[in-house]
Copies of this chain bind each other. A is one copy, B any other.
């Protein structure tokens, strides 16, 4: 049985989408070319007609998935006015991500030092997350609504606290609930930036 013939652009997008599905199911390290082909419903040979190596494929797929999440956060932040509402929107956007997305990040961090392509993407995206935060904090300092000695280090702290807490949620099941991780990270950010307690409380959201 033959797959419908697609343009390289479409097929490549379909490939990445299939790779992503397998990565979410089996983890980055456990993603094989044959599994991706099966997910796609195509022959296994098709994968290497579009991609030189599996490392390249997983790196690109991760870049797409994690890049979309970041983009959503960036636009959500841009839609708000004022540093504090923007920071709240940042947390809301982060909270909107699912556990599978965070598991992908855990895999990426684990493999980053060993897979050059993946490591570059992971680092670049992390720096953009931090940059997004740092911009908000700089605005807050300028407005007078936030206080921080150094926006960059505060941004790294807020981001790392959030990552570190959600990490526990995803890796270890319910040692911490996701809602608790989110609330604790917001509280930590309030302390870090001299905000009144509760300033960043997230909108109650029906999932």
A contacts, CB < 8 Å to B: 27, 29-30, 103, 106-114, 119, 122-123, 126-127, 153, 156-157, 159-165, 167-168, 170-173, 175-176, 180, 184-185, 187-188, 191-192
Which chain B positions have C-beta within 8 A of A192? 188, 191
Smallest CB-CB A-B distances: 3 pairs:
A160-B164, A164-B164, A110-B110
Copy count, this protein chain: 2
Query: Looking at the complex, which one of B30, B126, B153, B191 makes contact with A175 (CB distance below 8 Å)?
Result: B126
Q: How far is it, in angstroms, between the C-alpha of A167 and the C-alpha of B175 when the chains are bound?
A: 20
Which chain B positions have C-beta within 8 A of A180? 153
- Majority SS at the chain A contact face: helix
A133 to chain B, nearest CB (A): 13
Q: How far is it, in angstroms, between the C-alpha of A180 and the C-alpha of B130 when the chains are bound?
A: 15
**Extra inter-chain contacts (13) besides given A27-B114, A159-B164, CB under 8 Å:** A103-B110, A106-B109, A108-B171, A110-B171, A119-B171, A123-B172, A157-B161, A160-B160, A160-B164, A160-B165, A160-B168, A164-B167, A191-B192
* Closest partner residue, chain B, to A159 (CB atom): B164
Q: How far is it, in angstroms, between the C-alpha of A192 and the C-alpha of B119 when the chains are bound?
A: 32
Q: Are B110 and A27 in contact (CB under 8 A)?
A: yes
Q: Are A171 and B109 in contact (CB under 8 A)?
A: yes
A26 to chain B, nearest CB (A): 8
* Closest partner residue, chain B, to A107 (CB atom): B110
Query: Looking at the complex, which one of B157, B168, B191 makes contact with A184 (CB distance below 8 Å)?
Result: B157
* Closest partner residue, chain B, to A103 (CB atom): B113
Query: Looking at the complex, which one of B109, B110, B127, B168 makes contact with A156 (CB distance below 8 Å)?
Result: B168
Q: How far is it, in angstroms, between the C-alpha of A50 and the C-alpha of B123 when the chains are bound?
A: 40
Q: How far is it, in angstroms, between the C-alpha of A176 and the C-alpha of B119 when the chains are bound?
A: 14
A94 to chain B, nearest CB (A): 13
Q: How far is it, in angstroms, between the C-alpha of A192 and the C-alpha of B180 when the chains are bound?
A: 17
Q: Are A156 and B165 in contact (CB under 8 A)?
A: yes
Which chain B positions have C-beta within 8 A of A161? 157, 160-161, 164, 188
Query: Looking at the complex, which one of B113, B172, B188 makes contact with A112 (CB distance below 8 Å)?
Result: B172
